[in-house]
Structure 1
Amino acid sequence: MTTPESPRPLSGPDIVRATLRRNIGAMARGTVLMGMYQAGETAFPIALGLIVEHALRDRGLTPLALAIVALAVISATVSLSWRFGMRVLQKANTTEAHHWRVRVAARGLRPVAGGGELKSGEVLTIATDDADQTADLIEVIPVLIGSLVAVLVAAIALGLASVPLGLLVIVGTAAILAVTSVLAKRIDAGTREQQALVARAGAKVADLITGLRPLHGFGGNHAAFASYRGVSSAARRQAIAVARVNGAYAGTAQALNAVLATAVTLTAGWLAFEGRIGIGTLVMAVGLAQFIMEPLRLCSNMPKYVMIARASAERMALVLAAPPVVPPPAAEPPVAGGGLDVESVGFGSLREVSFRVRSGEFVAVVARRAGAAADLVALLAARVPHDAYRGTVRLGGTPVADLSVDTIRAHMLVNPANAEIFAGTLRGNIDPSGGGRLLAEAVEASLLTDVVALHRDGLDHAVRDRGANLSGGQRQRLSLARALAADAEILVLPDPTTAVDAVTEQLIARNVAALRRGRTTVVITSSPAFLDAADRVLLLDEGTIVAEDTHRNLLAGNETYRATVSR
């Protein structure tokens, strides 16, 4: 499925081409400056050779002064061209990496058809490491061209002094690039596999940290650690294999560079011994032989950088090409205040589920099976592709199949039962946009007031990553406060108070019902406090709605309901 933003799914080569095309101006400026830098670096041994040649022939202060001025000009050129060249390239590099990080993160935050093949930890790795490695091409290519300029200048300078020396540099450079290009192909497949395994390890540890408390609760932490150790060990073995190949590649390239430098030096010495070149030319040749080793090293590393960038781009394409779970927005948006309708829906453990929540109504849903509640939440949260379920879900009279995720969320908020808590402050977690008008009311309704009162900074109290400095009940109330502060037209709350005590739960249920009066609210829970506060209660059993009434009437007259809420 395609979107207006991207006529067709992006591939890895598409991403690389887009990166280079978008930064062609910065790369051109950087290439000119890096070429000047490398040419200036090459000019040093050439200038020294000419100074020695003229010093032996024309003794005096004037040639010495001119030599000093020439060296000063070369030094200034080298310093300024490097400074401004790297400034241009690194600015473009970081800007482009930011561009891809934002695109990957934005796509990763949107539901995709089938749930996608990548976990959140892998998406995080792709949005950081892979985005950076792809953008590195902006910096690598101009540096490579500058290095080739240096080698070319050295070859021309040596060729003017002695044709054999110039030809030796040109032929040797071509041979080194040919050998390293062949070796780089061996790095490609190993690098792809290593990046994939590292991303999987990141996903595994992210999932492990997220579920650490529940894992400890039922003793599953050791099995989870063993699972992570297996994935991490596979990543380590692959990294070692890639390191071996990289080591062989770097060693071979360095050895070839040294062979060429040695060949140039020995050839220049032999020509000087035979009197075919002067002492100044010998000094220049020896200096250039030492100098060109660094440009040659950069040139020989170029294929490796390209392989890494291409593998990273293809991993980004996995995220960016994932089809969204819904098509573009419908021509007619939902009618405000139209309520929520679920008509004959079948998905997972749900079968022929039908109910209606009228505008402004407070409805609770009790599920006898946790799986049925989870399926209903996934359906309402637009995490299920439309072709994966039967029936129709309508929002304000419009089928959600005709709405974009953004449009759905603009009218209905499904607050996750285990919502993320972000590093920052209490205020920032409750009102991320800074424009919530129900901040104080939401804090009061969720009984987060005790947490605020405990700390001198109040709502500006610092919260650690994932709410590590808060208890489970405090994190859950913080999540509830955030959902209430959003003041959504339709609010769905799955199990909002499982981590708080019964007295607090009773107060929260009353507060939520009062705050949401006149606004459509659906609570999926077995909490007697919320069930009693609801206008209606729906009993979901065997995948369908089997009863509906007030909590007290169901409690008195329905044995199945009584057994469900009292267990």
Structure 2
Amino acid sequence: MSPEQSVGREKPIFPAPAGSPYIAQAQRLKLEVPPVVPQPRFAPKILDTPELVEEIGDSPKGILWHLVKKNRKALALSFITALGLRLSGLAMPIIVGKIIDSGIEKGLGPHLIPWSVALLVAIILTGIFWSVDQLGNVALNFRNSTYIGNAVGQKALTNGIATSRKVGTGDVLTAATDDASNIAGLFVFLPAFFAACVTIVIIGWIMIRSSLMLGLIVMIGMPLVIFLITRLAVPLSRKMKTAQNSRAQLNTTANDAILGLRILRGLGGEDRFCDTYREASQATRDKGVKVVPLNATMLTLRISAPAVFQTLIIAIGAWQVYAGNLSAGTLIAFFGMTTYLQAATNTIISATMNYVSAKVSAGRISKILEIPPMFPNPQAGQAAPAGIAGTTLEIPNTQVSVAPGTYTAITGPDLSAADVHAQNLARLHPGTTATLGSVPLASLPLKTVRNLVTYSHGEAEIFAGSLRQNLLGAKAQTPPVMTAQEVMADYTLQMSPQSEQVRLPDWQNHDHDPQLWKALEAAACADITSSLGDDLDGMLLEKGRNLSGGQRQRLALARALATGAPILILVEPTSALDANTENRIGENLAECRKGKTTVLISSSPLLLQHADRVIVLDREGKYLGAGTHHELMAAPAGDTAGDTYRQLMARAGENV
């Protein structure tokens, strides 16, 4: 559809152009796309993000040790540059001291040229090492934060519901972002830590050769300061762990509120939630404040300890110069070395603080990584017999059975109890007892079961992308990798006011389009397609933010119908819809699934009246009886299934 064809619409639709669609669309809308200037590669390949492995450890020490091994070459390179930076810098005050002593002794002359050249070389080397060191630090930071974030995300996606049962979404988000960044920070400081230790030893050795007292101050005093800092790190670690856990819980609360904001407002619970969130936020703040005293003490030591050492060294050195035991050039060299001593001390203290934070973060990440998958060996199982999809699906010893090719509904006073049976029939959890044609579902490979049985809940998620991508679901193809310029153009388009009217290719096969249109029609999605330009290329925002709650539910139903699954289980697919829309869907559903096995969990008479068979359960999920809608409504008084069903229909507003 061209802009000219969209006359009469409130907003024109801009179809996807040929060539690079992202750049072309941005140019068409006269949007300014930031230029991408190709940069030469400076970093060696060993600083690239490593390929993600399946397991990175399930304990704090295991995670950190895995990362050490994974980064051993990058850490070695970074250690060499960090040590080179400090040694070349340390050489400068020593050379300056030699120049001063030589100048005092012999005056100005050619004898100063070699020392001057050496000073120039030291300055150049310091600049080179500093540049390479900064490059290595940035690479290590991005390398490890990306790697850890990917590991957490992959684990959460692979485990799915097993993860959400153990930890909240806020915990996963915090682990993949803040905690990953904390651990990456440790690996930035790790090479600098060891380089700083070597630097302190070298400074102490140089000073001992000139002054035993000054050398002993450095060699004995510095370990004492480091020991004191290590002792402070233990209680700091405990308080930081408490504060970070509280912050993750607060993130979970906020995320849940965002997802349910519409419901909260509908129930009038927005103010109550705000009060609860405010209290939780204040509690998190209080826990964070408790970290401050210990953290401030360590920061004070980082600043004051080197200053104390610098003052002692200069004072004692000046006295020894006065006494004739030390030359003026050596004193100036010592003064310059104390600057590097101060930097080394700061590095050690910062590395210690980063280790405390990283250890806490590794502990939080390990709680996610140690969650076992719900199905440890999904490939295990026997091959499915031919024609198994056309056999009876049932749960032994419960009288809950679904004949092949029928439209069967399950209802009761508590639909969550009916949903337990639905999840059993779909093998969503280990230990399922359901059978298909007398073959236990648990004995089949998980992929086989997923190809046979599709389970769809009325609260299914909608993802950012085209309408076609959302309807294809697992069948959607991965789009090609974009260039840097296309990424910038795409971001500019997404941020523009015309973002909802822009059409971009979704890189999907259009062979399934007739099936998708049929599913949309059955789910009464005409208003959705109309709002998106009457084509499947219409773009949906993250979580379907440009759709209403009812539209998202109907789109989830359409996606389930589009699978064409041999066995489809629908759980409350119309709970957020009005009666007219629900009635249309009820009429369409039986026709759309004709000849295929369908299981419906609902208490809506507008859907149940079209079912071939309705199974009635009690509040605990036990079987009471079965029949068609009309048979159950006409059942004699005293019939438990009939009485329960009539009560359900009366509650739903059915006129009997």
Q: Could you tell me how far apart the structure 2 residues matched to 1:314 and 1:295 are?
A: 28
Q: Does 1:44 align with 2:122?
A: no
* SS of aligned partner of 2:58: coil
* 1:185 Cα deviation after fit: 1.0
* Cα gap change, 1:457 to 1:131, in 2 (>3 Å): farther
Deviation string 1:63-120 (CA, Å, 9 cap, x unpaired) is 57625632443234323431443255235323432343234423551426xx744223
* SS of aligned partner of 2:434: strand
Deviation string 1:492-521 (CA, Å, 9 cap, x unpaired) is 111111222333223333443333334332
Task: Report the AA paired with residue 79 of structure 1.
Answer: W
Q: Could you tell me how far apart the structure 2 residues matched to 1:513 and 1:24 are?
A: 61
Q: Could you tell me how far apart the structure 2 residues matched to 1:405 and 1:320 are?
A: 22
Structure 1 equivalent of residue 607 of structure 2 = 530
Q: Could you tell me how far apart the structure 1 residues matched to 2:175 and 2:440 are?
A: 34
* 1:17 Cα deviation after fit: 2.0
More divergent stretch after superposition (249-258 vs 404-413): 404-413
Q: Does 1:362 align with 2:407?
A: yes
* Cα gap change, 1:545 to 1:78, in 2 (>3 Å): same
* Cα gap change, 1:28 to 1:294, in 2 (>3 Å): same
Structure 2 equivalent of residue 332 of structure 1 = 382
* 1:238 Cα deviation after fit: 0.7
Percent identity, aligned pairs only?
Answer: 30
Structure 2 equivalent of residue 348 of structure 1 = none
Structure 2 equivalent of residue 475 of structure 1 = 552
Structure 2 equivalent of residue 28 of structure 1 = 76
* Cα gap change, 1:136 to 1:260, in 2 (>3 Å): same
* SS of aligned partner of 1:297: helix
More divergent stretch after superposition (227-236 vs 322-331): 322-331
Q: Does 1:496 align with 2:577?
A: no
* 1:377 Cα deviation after fit: 4.3
Q: Could you tell me how far apart the structure 2 residues matched to 1:243 and 1:340 are?
A: 64
* Cα gap change, 1:42 to 1:483, in 2 (>3 Å): farther
1:349-388 to structure 2, matched below 5 A, reads 353-380=398-425, 386=431
Q: Does 1:74 align with 2:151?
A: no
* 1:248 Cα deviation after fit: 1.8
* 1:34 Cα deviation after fit: 2.0
Q: Could you tell me how far apart the structure 2 residues matched to 1:555 and 1:188 are?
A: 65
- Pick aligned residue for 1:111 from 149, 157, 162: 162
* SS of aligned partner of 1:522: strand
Deviation string 1:397-432 (CA, Å, 9 cap, x unpaired) is 443445676654343232222222334443443335
* Cα gap change, 1:464 to 1:451, in 2 (>3 Å): same
Q: Does 1:341 align with 2:341?
A: no
Structure 2 equivalent of residue 97 of structure 1 = 148
* Cα gap change, 1:227 to 1:555, in 2 (>3 Å): same
Q: Could you tell me how far apart the structure 2 residues matched to 1:301 and 1:561 are?
A: 68
* SS of aligned partner of 1:289: helix
Q: Does 1:561 align with 2:628?
A: no
* 1:380 Cα deviation after fit: 4.6
Q: Could you tell me how far apart the structure 2 residues matched to 1:34 and 1:253 are?
A: 20
* Cα gap change, 1:32 to 1:412, in 2 (>3 Å): farther
Q: Could you tell me how far apart the structure 1 residues matched to 2:445 and 2:85 are?
A: 52
- Number of matched pairs: 550
Q: Does 1:16 align with 2:93?
A: no
Structure 1 equivalent of residue 186 of structure 2 = 137
Structure 2 equivalent of residue 393 of structure 1 = 434
- Pick aligned residue for 2:299 from 245, 250, 253: 250
Task: Report the AA paired with residue 554 of structure 1.
Answer: L
The answer as to whether partners of 1:105 and 1:127 remain within 8 angstroms in 2 is no
Task: Report the AA paired with residue 221 of structure 2.
Answer: G
* Cα gap change, 1:515 to 1:25, in 2 (>3 Å): farther
More divergent stretch after superposition (546-555 vs 179-188): 546-555
Q: Could you tell me how far apart the structure 2 residues matched to 1:402 and 1:103 are?
A: 26
* Cα gap change, 1:246 to 1:488, in 2 (>3 Å): farther
* SS of aligned partner of 2:570: strand
The answer as to whether partners of 2:471 and 2:562 remain within 8 angstroms in 1 is yes
* SS of aligned partner of 2:459: coil
TM-score, normalised to structure 2, is 0.76
* SS of aligned partner of 1:422: coil
1:29-428 to structure 2, matched below 5 A, reads 29-56=77-104, 57=106, 59-60=108-109, 62-63=113-114, 66-67=117-118, 69-106=120-157, 108-111=159-162, 116-329=165-378, 330-335=380-385, 336-337=388-389, 339=391, 341-344=393-396, 353-380=398-425, 386=431, 392-395=433-436, 397-402=438-443, 408-428=449-469
Task: Report the AA paired with residue 295 of structure 1.
Answer: A
Deviation string 1:328-348 (CA, Å, 9 cap, x unpaired) is 34431544415563435xxxx
Q: Does 1:551 align with 2:629?
A: yes
Q: Could you tell me how far apart the structure 1 residues matched to 2:320 and 2:534 are?
A: 80
* SS of aligned partner of 1:392: coil
* Cα gap change, 1:313 to 1:404, in 2 (>3 Å): farther
More divergent stretch after superposition (50-59 vs 298-307): 50-59
Deviation string 1:255-287 (CA, Å, 9 cap, x unpaired) is 222211222222222222333332322222112
* SS of aligned partner of 1:547: strand
When the two chains are superposed, the root-mean-square deviation of aligned CA atoms in Å is 3.1
The answer as to whether partners of 2:150 and 2:176 remain within 8 angstroms in 1 is no
The answer as to whether partners of 1:339 and 1:490 remain within 8 angstroms in 2 is no
TM-score, normalised to structure 1, is 0.86
* SS of aligned partner of 1:292: helix
Structure 1 residue ranges without an equivalent (≥5)? 345-351
Structure 1 equivalent of residue 518 of structure 2 = 441
Q: Could you tell me how far apart the structure 2 residues matched to 1:131 and 1:405 are?
A: 32
* Cα gap change, 1:471 to 1:88, in 2 (>3 Å): closer
Q: Could you tell me how far apart the structure 2 residues matched to 1:125 and 1:63 are?
A: 56
* 1:525 Cα deviation after fit: 1.1
* SS of aligned partner of 2:398: strand
Deviation string 1:383-409 (CA, Å, 9 cap, x unpaired) is 6563xxxx8222564434456766543
The answer as to whether partners of 2:393 and 2:425 remain within 8 angstroms in 1 is no
